[in-house]
Structure 1
Amino acid sequence: MKRIVPFLFLACTTAAVQAQDLPGFRSSNYAGVYGVYGNPANIADSRYNWDVSIFGINAHVGNNQVKYKLSNIGSAFGEDTLKSQLFGANSGNTRALVNAQVYLPSFMFKVKQFTFAFTSRARVMANISDLNGKLADKVTSDFTNDPDLPYTIASDDKMRVSMNGWVEYNLSAAREIIHLGPHYVKGGVTVKYMTGVGNGSLQIDNLHGTIIADEAARDAALTNTTGKIGTNFAGISFNDFEAGDLTRFVGHGIGFELGAVYEYRPGDSKDYKLRVGVSLSDIGRIKYERDVQRSGTFNINIPANQNFYLSSLDGVSIDNYKTELNKYPQYFTPDGNNESSTYSVSLPGRLQLDADYHIKRHFFVNANGQFSLATLKKKAFNSQYFGGLTVTPRYDGRIFGFFLPLSYNTLTKFNAGASFRVGPVFLGSGSVLTALAGSAHQADFFIGVRFGGLQRK
């Protein structure tokens, strides 16, 4: 269990390379090909006849324990800080999300009434769900002469840590499908092909027991303990990987996205007064070959008069937990119910509702609601977003745009950010203003370059 820590730290710091993607900028009428990520119908009747994305990065890390401050955000990701705040003795159940995306070259173009797009991106998502902070502190620290011992664990939660990495290639098509007076309806669809790089997860279920200090053995031990612990892996090792591993695809899958947009355009206006959209995003699965050497689930049964010393796992990587736990069959009994050779990882599906009101000239206000359709409770190896609401006032001109995303989600609560679009460059953060006040539970940023050919007015 002590070697769980590098896996957890990796999950919380990968974003150095949200959880609404591209906060603020995604609502722009000049987002070009990036509009397809919010709703595939957005590219129909776009401001652009064609648009090309050169490169983009969108990274987000959020949690319910650590607060980030802009002046010391670098040190906030240090190992000691994360350990004390995320998994400290006084912390409750920890939840966290890492979402990092690299937007690869993509393009959009019109053919008569249709608009088509090809997009591609590399993605990494990591989740921590309901991990008992006190438990993590006890099993990852030196327990010698610890005044808090013995420590009783009575958790009925399903603790989860998961990480997924994949690359996706998407084909989108959209067009206007209804035009009745001032009422316009657009529809769009995206077909996705995914290549999985790797998947890894840790699960601890219904853990009940006691951690004691054995002064004679000068070690901490679990005793009178029941529950279940399991690991599941495919592809790269998240504890010991190199950049070249990110091009080794070990899983494959298909998925789709659907969307519709209604626009009300009063009088002879070519622009809308109100736009309302609905979309299903990230629907699909990636099929992996399970690495049976690293994957396994064990029922825990340590009698009250016996001890399992935590130092037995000292220096053991999480990839080798199965091998190590097999050395103690008296305490850890293999559960072969989940040992099939293949398994499928669900994408982090979402339902999104969006409304955009045109105030006057270049001034708009947007509201976006996001609802997660995925869960880790039954399958620890999945990924999921958190539900939330974002309201974004904006100035959205042809050359320059300014966005002020104000959001609330079930993980990091309230956040205020700012983003900009200047010519082909866009950049911003959904939490920079909250971080200035030192009260942000998330740190995120995005930046990218794209350009296109505007339609004639």
Structure 2
Amino acid sequence: MLKKIYPLVFFISLYSYAQTSVNFTDNFSGIESVLYNPANIADSFYKVDINILSSSTTTGNTYSTVKPLTILKDNKFGLNDLDVFKKISSLDATIDTIFKISKLKDLDSYVSKKEFSEDSNFYGNSTILGPSFLWTVNNYNTVGFTTAIRFNGYAYNFNSELYNQFTEKTYLNNPKKLLDNNFGNLTGYGQAFAWYEVGFTYAGVPIHTPTEFFKVGVSLKFLRGIKTYSFLLNDFTSNFSLNEDVPEDSVLDFNGSVSVSSSDTGANYGQGLDIGIVYEKRNKTLPINNIDKHGNIYYSKAPYSFKISASITDIGFISFNNIKTQTNNVDLNLANSNFAISDYLSIGSNKNQKETYLLPTTGHLNFDYNLNNHWYLNTNLDVYLFSKDRINAMKTVSNISFTPRYESQHISAFLPLSINNFGIYKAGFGIKTGLFYAGSSSVLTNLTNLSKEGDFFIGLKIPIYNSKVVSEYKKGIRKYSLLKIIENIDEEENTDSEL
């Protein structure tokens, strides 16, 4: 069983590796920024911003370091044939069969390093943002609408040291040594969820002055569950004592339980809530902060000195009404040859159960510092707000990142450096134009022996700018730059006079 579970989990990680994403938001992000903080869309540069289609996915593990270039070079695993997918999806397919029919090499061909642990973890999440838009009603109010398909999956607390004992060559060459060994506990659990999501967002500006700017936002989301799967390995223990003189007196102790659950078709509904705030500190000396002759206020269009934002996303739940659960209990104590498997294996099932799962509630704290004109330094913290061991809550990974970026209306670029709560370090690169954006916060580390997590995002949109707002913003940039030049000249003159 172990020789099937671990390679299969790793194979799934490899296959999904090229479908990954990252949180990339700037002041021109528009509707996609609502996914991280609904307040972000207030007082944007857009009259209307339309997302056509975008994808954002992340996958990683703490068990092995992979070789992405080797993976991509290997003919996309040979999975271009639909028949191959059908064969692989068969429940009877062994891992050897999967490698044979998919033209995969052995696992070691795609792994540069393995780190065996009693607590190995695999995880992934994906968001496909469908047709969505924001509409700036006026300088103080903005509304948004989003559609999305989301996936969340993980397998936690696997004993990869135990797997290593089964596959280590010294054991394979000496079966007696393998059998005469206490393998300890086999534990772990995994869950996967997929659902549709429709969201409605409101963001407003309750407070604004020439030096301070504050906005708030809230998103209400309605969910429809697509599918869920889960499994739980509960304290499997195995110990075989080989009696070489009298083999029939050898003893095998093996006990534990495994539960497997999956949802059936039904009315699977849920609700979610995102809330957020943004505070900006701006330069009060800029004329752009004043009211123009028509009474319009472009207070947020002057470059801010710094911006602080905080949000909590995915507050809520989703219920699956038809869950089928099967539990297999094993209690083997074989000390003689009179053995009937039915005496030791208990199989039970529960149908049509209703299960409610909490969404992967996450807190976000972001600090954006304006270095000079178009250059910014961003620090972002994402914190998963539930315990890793809470079975009825979807999981996500906490993360902290530092991202220098260049930002303008037509092109932005960023270079993120990050580390998550599993100690996995990443470095990447991304670019954004008015119509298209793509990037990865892990593409640089994916080229090294540090590649344990991969992510990628890509999107296509139609921006409709508020021409007056953009014009005032550009004027503000020029005035801001001019003031900086004047300040530098004054400082140099004062220094010269002192000398």
Instruction: Find the counterpart in structure 2 of residue 199 from structure 1.
Output: 228
Q: Give the letter aligned to residue 149 of structure 1.
A: L
Q: Equivalents in 1 of 2:321, 2:113: separation in Å?
A: 32
User: Secondary structure of 1:67's match?
Assistant: strand
Is 1:14 the counterpart of 2:16 in the alignment? yes
Shift of 1:10: 6.3
How far does the alpha carbon of each residue in 1:233-273 deviate from its partner, in whole angstroms, 9 at most, with x for none?
A: 114xxxxxxxxxxxx77521111111111111121352321
Is 1:47 the counterpart of 2:45 in the alignment? yes
Q: Structure 1 length as normaliser, TM-score?
A: 0.80
Is 1:94 the counterpart of 2:106 in the alignment? no
User: Secondary structure of 1:407's match?
Assistant: strand
Q: Equivalents in 2 of 1:31, 1:222: separation in Å?
A: 64
Question: Given that residues 274 and 312 in structure 2 are in contact (C-alpha distance below 8 angstroms), is that contact kept between their aligned partners in structure 1?
Answer: yes
| Greater relative contact order structure (CA < 8 Å, 6+ sep) | 1
Higher share of residues assigned helix? 2
Unpaired segments ≥5 residues, structure 2? 78-103, 245-249, 290-301, 473-499
Shift of 1:136: 4.3
1:396-411 paired onto structure 2 within 5 Å: 396-411=407-422
Change (3 A) 1:207 1:129: same
Shift of 1:49: 1.6
Q: Which moved more, 1:265-274 or 1:443-452?
A: 265-274
Shift of 1:407: 0.2
Paired residue for 1:373, among 360, 375, 385?
Answer: 385
Q: Give the letter aligned to residue 270 of structure 2.
A: G
Is 1:330 the counterpart of 2:343 in the alignment? yes
User: Secondary structure of 1:384's match?
Assistant: coil
Question: Given that residues 22 and 56 in structure 2 are in contact (C-alpha distance below 8 angstroms), is that contact kept between their aligned partners in structure 1?
Answer: yes
Paired residue for 1:305, among 335, 339, 356?
Answer: 335
Change (3 A) 1:202 1:301: same
Question: Given that residues 200 and 219 in structure 2 are in contact (C-alpha distance below 8 angstroms), is that contact kept between their aligned partners in structure 1?
Answer: yes
Instruction: Find the counterpart in structure 2 of residue 438 from structure 1.
Output: 449
Q: Equivalents in 1 of 2:251, 2:44: separation in Å?
A: 61
How far does the alpha carbon of each residue in 1:410-455 deviate from its partner, in whole angstroms, 9 at most, with x for none?
A: 2352110000012311000111111223322112211111121223
What is the count of residue pairs matched by the alignment? 414
Q: Equivalents in 1 of 2:387, 2:187: separation in Å?
A: 12
Instruction: Find the counterpart in structure 2 of residue 351 from structure 1.
Output: 363
Instruction: Find the counterpart in structure 1 of residue 134 from structure 2.
Output: 108
Q: Equivalents in 2 of 1:440, 1:93: separation in Å?
A: 19
Change (3 A) 1:67 1:9: closer
Q: Equivalents in 2 of 1:432, 1:101: separation in Å?
A: 19
Shift of 1:228: 3.0
Question: Given that residues 18 and 456 in structure 2 are in contact (C-alpha distance below 8 angstroms), is that contact kept between their aligned partners in structure 1?
Answer: no
Change (3 A) 1:223 1:169: farther
Question: Given that residues 232 and 290 in structure 1 are in contact (C-alpha distance below 8 angstroms), is that contact kept between their aligned partners in structure 2?
Answer: no
Unpaired segments ≥5 residues, structure 1? 216-220, 236-247, 310-326
Q: Equivalents in 1 of 2:112, 2:306: separation in Å?
A: 43
Instruction: Find the counterpart in structure 2 of residue 190 from structure 1.
Output: 219
Question: Given that residues 65 and 113 in structure 2 are in contact (C-alpha distance below 8 angstroms), is that contact kept between their aligned partners in structure 1?
Answer: no
Instruction: Find the counterpart in structure 1 of residue 398 from structure 2.
Output: 387
Shift of 1:170: 0.9
Q: Equivalents in 2 of 1:89, 1:408: separation in Å?
A: 18
Instruction: Find the counterpart in structure 2 of residue 67 from structure 1.
Output: 65
Q: Equivalents in 2 of 1:307, 1:283: separation in Å?
A: 56
How far does the alpha carbon of each residue in 1:354-404 deviate from its partner, in whole angstroms, 9 at most, with x for none?
A: 11011111100110011112345241x643111120010000011111100
Shift of 1:198: 0.8
Q: Equivalents in 1 of 2:124, 2:242: separation in Å?
A: 35
Question: Given that residues 352 and 368 in structure 1 are in contact (C-alpha distance below 8 angstroms), is that contact kept between their aligned partners in structure 2?
Answer: yes
Is 1:152 the counterpart of 2:173 in the alignment? no
How far does the alpha carbon of each residue in 1:124-151 deviate from its partner, in whole angstroms, 9 at most, with x for none?
A: 2220111111444677999796343334
Change (3 A) 1:335 1:190: same
Change (3 A) 1:143 1:249: farther
Q: Give the letter aligned to residue 120 of structure 2.
A: T
Question: Given that residues 8 and 161 in structure 1 are in contact (C-alpha distance below 8 angstroms), is that contact kept between their aligned partners in structure 2?
Answer: no
Paired residue for 2:144, among 117, 137, 146?
Answer: 117
Instruction: Find the counterpart in structure 1 of residue 280 from structure 2.
Output: 263
Instruction: Find the counterpart in structure 2 of residue 32 from structure 1.
Output: 30
Change (3 A) 1:48 1:212: farther
Between the aligned residues of both structures, percent identity stands at 25
Q: Give the letter aligned to residue 371 of structure 2.
A: I
Question: Given that residues 257 and 283 in structure 1 are in contact (C-alpha distance below 8 angstroms), is that contact kept between their aligned partners in structure 2?
Answer: yes
User: Secondary structure of 1:432's match?
Assistant: coil
Q: Equivalents in 1 of 2:199, 2:137: separation in Å?
A: 18
Is 1:278 the counterpart of 2:305 in the alignment? no
1:159-238 paired onto structure 2 within 5 Å: 159-210=188-239, 223-235=252-264
Change (3 A) 1:180 1:89: closer
Change (3 A) 1:437 1:100: same
Question: Given that residues 50 and 463 in structure 2 are in contact (C-alpha distance below 8 angstroms), is that contact kept between their aligned partners in structure 1?
Answer: yes
Change (3 A) 1:384 1:211: farther
Q: Give the letter aligned to residue 136 of structure 2.
A: K
Shift of 1:82: 7.4
Q: Equivalents in 2 of 1:49, 1:222: separation in Å?
A: 75
Q: Equivalents in 1 of 2:251, 2:369: separation in Å?
A: 59
Change (3 A) 1:389 1:214: farther
User: Secondary structure of 1:33's match?
Assistant: helix
User: Secondary structure of 2:144's match?
Assistant: strand
Question: Given that residues 259 and 277 in structure 1 are in contact (C-alpha distance below 8 angstroms), is that contact kept between their aligned partners in structure 2?
Answer: yes
Q: Which moved more, 1:262-271 or 1:221-230?
A: 221-230
Shift of 1:405: 0.5
Q: Give the letter aligned to residue 132 of structure 1.
A: N
User: Secondary structure of 2:444's match?
Assistant: helix
Shift of 1:53: 0.6
Change (3 A) 1:209 1:307: farther
Q: Equivalents in 2 of 1:52, 1:249: separation in Å?
A: 32
Is 1:129 the counterpart of 2:156 in the alignment? yes
Shift of 1:114: 1.4
Question: Given that residues 412 and 432 in structure 2 are in contact (C-alpha distance below 8 angstroms), is that contact kept between their aligned partners in structure 1?
Answer: yes
Q: Give the letter aligned to residue 101 of structure 1.
A: T
In our comparison, the structure showing a higher alpha carbon Rg is 2
Q: Give the letter aligned to residue 402 of structure 2.
A: V
How far does the alpha carbon of each residue in 1:316-339 deviate from its partner, in whole angstroms, 9 at most, with x for none?
A: xxxxxxxxxxx9553344688x87
User: Secondary structure of 2:178's match?
Assistant: coil
Q: Equivalents in 2 of 1:251, 1:10: separation in Å?
A: 30
Question: Given that residues 66 and 113 in structure 2 are in contact (C-alpha distance below 8 angstroms), is that contact kept between their aligned partners in structure 1?
Answer: no
